[in-house]
A and B are shown apart, each in its own frame.
Chain A
Amino acid sequence: DGGITQSPKYLFRKEGQNVTLSCEQNLNHDAMYWYRQDPGQGLRLIYYSQIVNDFQKGDIAEGYSVSREKKESFPLTVTSAQKNPTAFYLCASSSTGSSNQPQHFGDGTRLSIL
């Protein structure tokens, strides 16, 4: 079955710690995205990548970093500089980075502070 796999499902971060969220897709999509979802707010874009070895900041990139070394993988690191990291993190992909290719989502990682 083709899809987007996010792991882990739940993650806890200690103060001063960096944590990495995994996102893997087997849809052969070129574009991948990371969003953050907070209660009562729409999804907000953290980073996106249209192609391997290239990525751009979204609206709320501060305190986050990404890499795109392989087409199928787009890990997100939440650094200690992100002061309010508690949220539901969603990874998405689309065939290309244009708007006529809809984005499809994984089932998310819920990050909490210890």
Chain B
Amino acid sequence: QKEVEQDPGPLSVPEGAIVSLNCTYSNSAFQYFMWYRQYSRKGPELLMYTYSSGNKEDGRFTAQVDKSSKYISLFIRDSQPSDSATYLCAMSLNDYKLSFGAGTTVTVRA
């Protein structure tokens, strides 16, 4: 079993829809949770960074962490074609080592 599981998709939604992405994990000791966005042939770009449980909102993006269920989510409201990318979740204990999901590919149709 992988340490971090992420549905690879692909996920296709119409412009303006809410995109819902999620990851599950097995190590209950993870404390830091991240979401990265990766465009084709580019490096990952940090979108959201949260510590422990709870919600964090930044513009159209909301990250949720449910440590009791070992489940994290990213919601994108009012999705745009420019949101079409691969979204990677990542998490860490209390050091440098990140554990990544395999990524979910999202296409927002105009």
Contact = CB atoms under 8 A, between A and B. Distances in A.
A3 to B, nearest CB: 10
Contacts, number: 65
B96 A98 contact: yes
Interface string A74-114: 00000000000000001010100111101111111010000
Contacts of A99: 31-32, 92-96
B60 interface: no
Given A41-B102, A99-B32, A100-B51, A107 B96 contact: no
A16 interface: no
Interface residues of A, number: 28
B44 A97 contact: no
A103 B95 contact: no
A92 B100 CA distance: 14
Given A97-B96, A107-B42, 6 more contacts: A4-B43, A42-B99, A102-B34, A104-B46, A105-B44, A108-B43
